[in-house]
């Protein structure tokens, strides 16, 4: 007689059930079955709040070493795959060769004329050509990516963070076409083999979804500063743009700042002070 588990029974049952359609989804009520006090969902009491989160990057304080530190801190702790990482062939046999044009990045350094292509100038002060400009998602107030997304997988949070629901993304990449800053990356393949060490504090992504900087929403929720701020040795400040007393508002009051492609009306929340 054939030895089998409930598993195989259900598999056959499943095959037989094809055509009957999916079972209706369970409707779960947030109260318990005894009808005592209802459950509530709340924010962490230590969470940092802002009316509209923003970032100021003090470009002069960043050199190549700090730039590297920033990218490294963000990417390793968000489990962003590094396609130059040598794959552990024991754990991931048959990993196919990499197309480096399909890379994934959240925050990285660019030369001035790439970060600000509309501000190209042949007589620009020489030193600008060598400064590393950190670029990332601008968490635009009028974000074209949010407008484009057909599933609201990309959306603007109340506090101005443009964030993604990786569970919902269908991978149509409309948002990538819509973003005027090249801030988004697509998981062309399973990222797992290219993550040197998975950080258990943050989920990885699956193949077929888009991803980008989330302004460390998971850290702000615990009352901590974003990874890049911690790694930047004072060169990156994150705070509330709507609060006149905040540090970033002070910086913006006292310095001349620029934003990327301001003329497009997307209202980026990332400011550069040069």
Sites of contact with ligand SF4 (CB under 6 A): 137-140, 143-145, 148-149, 151, 153-154, 162, 164, 169-175, 179, 181, 183-184, 210, 212, 266
Q: Binding other proteins by CB under 8 A: which of 21, 23, 40, 93? A: 40
**Calpha distance 227→114 (Å, rounded):** 24
CB of 230 vs ligand SF4, minimal distance in Å: 21
CB of 103 vs ligand SF4, minimal distance in Å: 16
Cα torsion 87, 107, 188, 157 to 10°: value is 130
Phi–psi pair at 273, nearest 5 degrees: -110, 120
Phi–psi pair at 177, nearest 5 degrees: -70, -35
Cβ proximity to other proteins: between 250 and 261 the closer is: 261
239 and 248 Cβ atoms separated by less than 8 Å? yes
Cβ proximity to other proteins: between 32 and 64 the closer is: 32
**Taking CB under 8 A as the criterion, which residues in 73-132 touch other proteins?**
96, 99, 101-105, 110, 113-115, 117-118, 120
Q: Binding other proteins by CB under 8 A: which of 87, 148, 251, 258? A: 148
Residue 33 contacts which entry, ligand SF4, other proteins, none (Cβ below 5-8 A, type-dependent): other proteins
Does 144 contact other proteins by CB under 8 A? yes
176 and 210 Cβ atoms separated by less than 8 Å? yes
Does 23 contact other proteins by CB under 8 A? no
- Comparing CA positions, the residue from 215, 179, 211 lying closest to residue 50 is 215
**Calpha distance 271→59 (Å, rounded):** 10
Cβ proximity to other proteins: between 19 and 244 the closer is: 19
Does 180 contact other proteins by CB under 8 A? yes
CB of 65 vs other proteins, minimal distance in Å: 23
CB atoms under 10 Å from CB of 212, counted, come to: 24
Mention every residue, 6+ apart, whose C-beta is less than 8 A from residue 224.
Answer: 48, 216
């Amino acid at each position: 007689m054939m030895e089998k588990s409930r598993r195989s029974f259900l598999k056959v049952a499943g095959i037989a059930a094809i055509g009957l359609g999916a079972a209706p989804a369970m409707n779960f009520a947030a109260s318990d079955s005894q009808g005592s006090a209802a459950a509530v969902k709340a924010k962490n009491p230590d969470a940092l709040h802002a009316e509209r989160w923003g970032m100021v990057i003090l470009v002069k304080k960043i050199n190549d070493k700090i730039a590297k530190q920033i990218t490294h801190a963000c990417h390793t702790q968000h489990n962003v795959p590094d396609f130059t990482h040598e794959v552990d062939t024991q754990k991931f046999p048959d990993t196919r060769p990499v197309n480096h044009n399909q890379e994934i990045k959240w925050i990285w350094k660019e030369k001035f004329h790439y970060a600000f292509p509309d501000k190209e100038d042949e007589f620009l002060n020489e030193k600008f050509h060598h400064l590393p400009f950190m670029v990332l998602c601008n968490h635009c107030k009028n974000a074209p990516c949010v407008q484009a997304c057909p599933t609201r997988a990309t959306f603007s949070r109340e506090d101005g963070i443009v964030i993604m629901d990786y569970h919902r993304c269908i991978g149509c990449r409309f948002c990538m076409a819509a973003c005027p800053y090249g801030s988004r990356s697509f998981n062309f393949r399973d990222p797992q083999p290219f993550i040197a060490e998975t950080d258990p504090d943050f989920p990885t992504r699956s193949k077929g979804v888009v991803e980008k900087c989330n302004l460390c929403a998971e850290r702000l929720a615990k009352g901590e500063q974003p990874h890049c701020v911690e790694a930047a040795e004072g060169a990156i400040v994150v705070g509330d743009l709507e609060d006149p007393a905040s540090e970033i508002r002070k910086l913006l009051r006292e310095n001349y700042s620029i934003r990327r492609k301001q003329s497009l009306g997307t209202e980026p929340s990332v400011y550069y002070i040069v």
